[in-house]
Structure 1
Amino acid sequence: MQNKDIEKDFMDMIQLNERIIYKVASFYADIDQSINDLYQEIILSLWKAYPSFRGESKPSTWIYRIALNTCITFFRRSKRKPQYVELVVDIPNTPDNNDEIVELYKLINQLGKIERALVLLYLDEKSYKEIAEITGLTVTNISTKISRIKEKLKRMSNE
């Protein structure tokens, strides 16, 4: 495959999955950092890893895995440990549950980076199998962790 074909295939894949990349970047960007900076880091990581993409999983699964790993590595590298990361989400303006949704996202922001990654995938209605493929954990481990995260969020909401 020629370089122009590879570039076109890559750009097509990015355009089809742009929402995933933006979602992960916005979920992990801290208050002092631009979502666009993290978005660009993810794109760069995807480009570097693209030649090794064998198509054994769905492109969206591969993109989630690279994006999450990029964000986690980015924060480890920068050695910044923000205690609070603002989640930028368009929350539907429904009077019945708007306050509850806002409160839920505030609680999610207090979770650790791995826990937030699991919640992000869970809220994006990924199956445990898909989450396992993205994170490299086992389905059983995913099930256990998500169950514990739900309990943790319940405890946090009662405090």
Structure 2
Amino acid sequence: MDLKDEFVELVTRYKDVIFKVCYIYAEKDDIEDYYQEVLIQIWRSLPKFRGESKVTTWIYRISLNTCISHVRKNTKGNINKVPLIDVNLWENDIEKKQQVDEMYSLINKLNKLEKAVILLWLEDRDYEEIASVVGITKANVAVKINRIKEKLRKLSNQ
């Protein structure tokens, strides 16, 4: 398989992952731009991918780094303003939707590392993958998740 075919297959397989990260970090009008930037970075990085991590981890890392860099460039460091994620899990259940919106509103108050860790954890990623994506140790992931959950509890009680 040539590089172009490999790229198309990766983008097709992981487009939802890429869009989710872009959606987390981009304003509504900028999601497509962020997505394109991530694709450019994946294309540039693909020849260097050695397979030392899972492809999903590699895609997440590129997506996170690209989006965070883009946010920094466009907001002059105000990375704590992240739009809410539209969760369609409970469209018919208004109360649960409100709870989910409140949770993501609280997540928006976290710093960029905490956001990345907790969002990956909410997607049921294992500690090893979270550690690889955000660049910390597996043990530190466990500690951070506990601290983040406690921080979110305190924020929700304010």
Q: What is the TM-score when the length of structure 1 is the normalising length?
A: 0.89
Structure 2 equivalent of residue 30 of structure 1: 27
Distance (Å, rounded) in 2 between the aligned partners of 1:55 and 1:83: 32
Displacement of 1:117 after TM fit? 0.8
State the 4+ residue runs in structure 1 displaced beyond 3 angstroms. none
For 2:38 and 2:118, locate their aligned partners in 1 and report how far apart those are by CA, in whole Å.
19
Cα deviation digits, residues 105-133 of structure 1 (max 9, x gap): 11111211111111110111000111111
- Partners in 2 of 1:83 and 1:30 — Cα distance? 12
Whichever residue aligns with residue 141 of structure 2, its letter is: I
Corresponding residue for residue 62 of structure 2: 66
| C-alpha contact 1:30 1:82 (8 A) present in aligned 2 | no
Residue of structure 2 aligned with 1:50, choices 46, 49, 53: 46
Q: Tell me the distance in 2 between the aligned counterparts of 1:60 and 1:82.
A: 24
Equivalent pairs, count = 155
Which of 63, 85, 94 in structure 1 is aligned with 2:82? 85
5+ residue gaps, structure 1: none
Name the % identity: 42
Counterpart for residue 157 of structure 1: 156
Instruction: Provide the alpha-carbon RMSD of the alignment.
Output: 1.7
The aligned residue for residue 105 of structure 1 is: 104
In 2, distance between residues paired with 1:57 and 1:11? 20
Q: Tell me the residue number matched to 1:118.
A: 117
TM-score by length of 2: 0.90
